[in-house]
């Protein structure tokens, strides 16, 4: 991926919420030290917060959502 931090946050948050992904591998290119620093200090915390906020909102159906494994 490339682009601003906000684009990374939006895309990765989508992977978490829509696909259930919970592990990501960073393969930096170019200025790898700076990319790792940005990911650790800005992207990862912002994704965690966005996921926490999204999961704390009531579901659109009005009922509690349950996983098949919970049934």
Residue 5 pLDDT: 94
Torsion sign over Cα 31, 33, 36, 42: negative
Q: Residue 37 CA to chain centroid, in angstroms?
A: 17
Which residues in the chain show pLDDT less than 70? 1, 60-71
Q: How much is the pTM?
A: 0.75
What pLDDT is recorded for position 19?
95
Residue 71: its pLDDT value, please? 42
């Amino acid at each position: 991926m490339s682009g601003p931090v906000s684009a990374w946050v939006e895309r990765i948050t989508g992977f978490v919420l829509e696909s259930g992904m919970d592990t990501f591998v960073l393969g930096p290119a170019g200025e790898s030290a700076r990319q790792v620093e940005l990911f650790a200090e800005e992207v990862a915390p912002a994704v965690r917060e966005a996921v926490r906020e999204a999961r704390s909102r009531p579901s659109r159906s009005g009922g509690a959502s349950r996983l098949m494994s919970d049934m």
